[in-house]
């Protein structure tokens, strides 16, 4: 998949694509439906298939002080898009100037002049332009005027009776339900971070941890998780137990992901860790001293190992990133 950030430099061969449009946060089943339809239309017409996404997420522009909410960082999102079979991804910078562009001008300036788009695929609740002034009906009218087709898809149903959406996935993760979120993502939700040096208390009680911050990525429910972790983006996935929270027994250093790998030895400081949340074990709590904490961690590790043994082997789509 080719990634275009300089949209003024798109060559003639990339123009005329069938494009799925959206923020694509999560690249979940709903986004996959848009992408699959765009790919099918592109194949029928001998055109490239592409996704148009926006960086930063519009909420970061309009609500810069909002709590972290992204399901994936920009590079992880592009990596997920690359796995969908698209020919290209267009990354449109979302800034104040773009937010002020009226709906009709967004179509003319972005879709027609930049891309020479042949077809667009969006969700039926898609809105665009200044103050979200454009909807699917207007997009259809403008498409007819400028010579491109428009397909609007209904939301993909979720197993719980709702719809598959980024907001629903965020809610499930905030409720400590990563296994349910995985059904909508079609994969375990995976976090990434550079391991930082901590106070090494875990090492003193026999359970060393690899620690990292989540930054602008969504903070899941605080507590203990059964996880699998991969080092530096390649190689095996290692079973583990992780705590996300403020460590009330030891010291509040702000929300931190602490991962203990069950069958791994080696120095992880300064290395990139990918951690997929398989299931929730229990909420975070404060213990009366390190002995009680050590006993609970031993139990948590046993429970995590049992969860992972029961969950694997799983389908590659559910377990992959």
Q: Is residue 70 part of a domain?
A: yes
The widest CA-to-CA distance across the chain, in whole angstroms, is: 72
Same domain membership, residue 122 and residue 199: no
Q: Is residue 158 part of a domain?
A: no
- Binning pLDDT at 50, 70 and 90, where does residue 247 land? confident
User: At which residue do the structure tokens 């430099």 appear?
Assistant: 9
Q: Is residue 160 part of a domain?
A: no
- Whole-number pLDDT of residue 14: 83
In the chain, the number of structural domains is 2
Q: Is residue 316 scored above 60 in pLDDT?
A: no
21-30, 120-129, 160-169, 221-230, range with the lowest pLDDT: 160-169
Integer Cα distance of 301 and 296 in angstroms: 9
Q: Is residue 100 part of a domain?
A: yes
Same domain membership, residue 139 and residue 74: yes
Same domain membership, residue 139 and residue 189: no
Integer Cα distance of 24 and 180 in angstroms: 19
pLDDT (mean) for 43-71: 94
**What CATH number has the domain bearing residue 194?**
2.40.30.30
Q: Is residue 171 part of a domain?
A: no
Integer Cα distance of 53 and 17 in angstroms: 14
Same domain membership, residue 271 and residue 142: no
Is it true that the peptide bond before 306 is cis, omega within 30 degrees of 0?
Answer: no
pLDDT (mean) for 28-54: 97
Question: Checking DSSP bridges between strand 88-93 and strand 238-245, what pairing results, if any?
Answer: unpaired
Same domain membership, residue 183 and residue 134: no
- Whole-number pLDDT of residue 261: 96
Same domain membership, residue 129 and residue 236: no
**What CATH number has the domain bearing residue 75?**
3.40.50.620
Give the three-state DSSP class for 191: strand
What average pLDDT is seen over the chain?
A: 92
Q: Give the model confidence (pLDDT) of 79-102 as tens digits.
A: 999 999 999 999 999 999 999 999
- Whole-number pLDDT of residue 8: 82
Same domain membership, residue 65 and residue 142: yes
Give the three-state DSSP class for 288: coil
Q: Is residue 296 scored above 70 in pLDDT?
A: yes
Same domain membership, residue 108 and residue 191: no
Give residue 251's Cα distance to chain centre.
Answer: 30
Question: Checking DSSP bridges between strand 272-283 and strand 223-231, what pairing results, if any?
Answer: antiparallel
Give the end-to-end CA distance of the chain in Å, rounded to a whole number: 16
DSSP assigned state of 12: G
pLDDT (mean) for 298-318: 79
Domain boundary among 99, 122, 153: 153
How much is the pTM?
A: 0.91
Q: Give the model confidence (pLDDT) of 264-294 as tens digits.
A: 888 899 999 999 999 999 999 888 888 888 9
What range defines the domain where residue 255 resides?
A: 176-319
Same domain membership, residue 298 and residue 202: yes
- Binning pLDDT at 50, 70 and 90, where does residue 313 land? low
Q: Is residue 284 part of a domain?
A: yes
Q: Is residue 315 scored above 60 in pLDDT?
A: no
Segments in the chain forming alpha helices (H): 29-45, 58-62, 74-82, 96-99, 103-106, 136-146, 166-174, 178-185, 201-204, 290-311, 316-319
Q: Give the model confidence (pLDDT) of 7-26 as tens digits.
A: 888 888 889 999 999 999 99
Closest CA to 217 of 65, 64, 24, 67: 67
- Whole-number pLDDT of residue 33: 98
Q: Is residue 53 part of a domain?
A: yes
- Whole-number pLDDT of residue 199: 65
- Whole-number pLDDT of residue 291: 87
- Whole-number pLDDT of residue 50: 97
Do 152 and 20 meet the contact criterion of CB atoms below 8 Å apart? Answer: no
């Amino acid at each position: 998949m080719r990634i275009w950030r300089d949209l003024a430099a798109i060559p003639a061969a990339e123009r005329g694509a069938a494009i799925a449009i959206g923020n694509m946060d999560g690249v979940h089943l709903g986004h996959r439906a848009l992408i699959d339809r765009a790919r099918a239309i592109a194949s029928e017409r001998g055109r490239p298939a592409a996704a148009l996404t926006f960086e930063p997420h519009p909420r970061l522009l309009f609500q810069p002080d909002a709590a972290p909410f992204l399901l994936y960082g920009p590079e992880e999102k592009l990596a997920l898009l690359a796995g969908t079979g698209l020919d290209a991804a267009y990354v449109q910078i979302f800034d104040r100037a773009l937010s002020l562009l009226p709906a009709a001008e967004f179509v003319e300036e972005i879709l027609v002049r930049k891309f020479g788009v042949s077809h667009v695929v969006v969700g039926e609740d898609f809105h665009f332009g200044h103050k979200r002034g454009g909807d699917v009906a207007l997009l259809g009218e403008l498409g007819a005027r400028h010579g491109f087709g428009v397909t609007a898809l209904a939301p993909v149903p979720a197993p719980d009776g709702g719809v598959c959406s980024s907001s629903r996935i965020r809610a499930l993760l905030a409720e400590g339900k990563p296994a349910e979120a995985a059904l909508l993502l079609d994969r375990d939700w995976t976090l990434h971070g550079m391991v930082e040096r901590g106070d090494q208390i875990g090492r003193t009680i026999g359970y060393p941890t690899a620690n990292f911050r989540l930054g602008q990525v969504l903070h899941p429910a605080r507590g203990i998780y059964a996880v699998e972790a991969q080092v530096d983006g390649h190689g095996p996935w290692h079973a583990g137990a992780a705590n996300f929270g403020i460590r009330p027994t030891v010291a509040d250093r702000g929300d931190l992901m602490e991962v203990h790998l069950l069958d791994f030895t080696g120095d992880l400081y300064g290395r990139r860790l990918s951690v997929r949340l398989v299931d929730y074990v229990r909420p975070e709590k404060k213990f009366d001293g390190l002995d009680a904490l050590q006993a609970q961690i031993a139990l948590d590790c046993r429970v995590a190992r049992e969860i992972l043994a029961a969950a694997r082997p799983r389908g590659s789509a559910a377990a992959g990133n």
